[in-house]
């Protein structure tokens, strides 16, 4: 198991823009980036996804296939293949995001053992809804991983204290599901 730095974990899972004299604006990546972890960049996946319809168009509407199918069947084949390829894109994004989370989970637990990374990245209601704001502020303050870790640890402690009731409810729900 490789232990990744906190900044590489956060760069793989989030994206941020920093403007002068303002805290960074942080958001969750739609497609997690493996480049900070030593894998394929999410930009390469996006380029591949954008090129898929053009490749399909060239495959279906070339003179040989188009001559064999005709216009109506070529259009139907193009639409059916496009629907199939959209499903493939969805599955590839899901698999990529799942593999990135699996890859960084142990390293995350070494930094923040009491914080579930899936809850931090959750789009729904979670005790860590203010994570992106806290991370944006921490980027401006921290100059290295230790300072970033210290700043985020304080932010997580504050979030857990503010949302103690929600954390207890989530824990009770997990305990009841384990018993069932």
Q: How far apart are CA 56 and CA 101, in angstroms?
A: 31
Residue-level pLDDT at 81: 95
Residue-level pLDDT at 57: 94
Helix axes 145-162, 131-141, angle to 10 degrees: 150
Q: How many CB atoms lie within 10 A of CB 26?
A: 20
Q: How far apart are CA 160 and CA 112, in angstroms?
A: 12
- At 162, list the tokens: 């503010």
This prediction's pTM: 0.83
Domain segments of the chain as ranges: 6-179
Please spell the DSSP secondary structure of 53-101, one letter per residue: HHHHHHHHSSHHHHHHH-HHHHHHHHHHHHHHHHHHHHHHHHHHHHHHH
Q: Which residues of the chain have pLDDT under 70?
A: 1, 180
């Amino acid at each position: 198991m490789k232990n990744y730095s906190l900044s590489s974990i956060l760069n793989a899972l989030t994206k941020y823009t920093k403007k002068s004299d303002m805290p960074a604006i942080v958001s969750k990546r739609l497609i997690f980036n493996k480049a900070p972890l030593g894998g394929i960049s999410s930009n390469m996946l996006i380029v591949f996804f954008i090129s898929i319809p053009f490749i399909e168009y060239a495959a279906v509407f070339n003179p040989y296939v188009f001559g064999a199918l005709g216009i109506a069947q070529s259009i139907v084949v193009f639409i059916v293949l496009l629907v199939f390829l959209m499903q493939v894109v969805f599955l590839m994004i899901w698999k990529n995001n799942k593999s990135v989370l699996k890859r960084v989970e142990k390293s995350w637990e070494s930094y923040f053992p009491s914080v579930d990374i899936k809850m931090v990245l959750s789009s729904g209601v979670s005790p860590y809804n203010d994570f992106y704001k806290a991370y944006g502020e921490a980027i401006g303050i921290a100059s290295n991983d230790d300072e970033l870790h210290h700043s985020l640890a304080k932010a997580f402690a504050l979030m857990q204290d503010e949302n103690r009731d929600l954390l207890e409810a989530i824990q009770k729900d997990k305990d009841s599901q384990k018993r069932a």
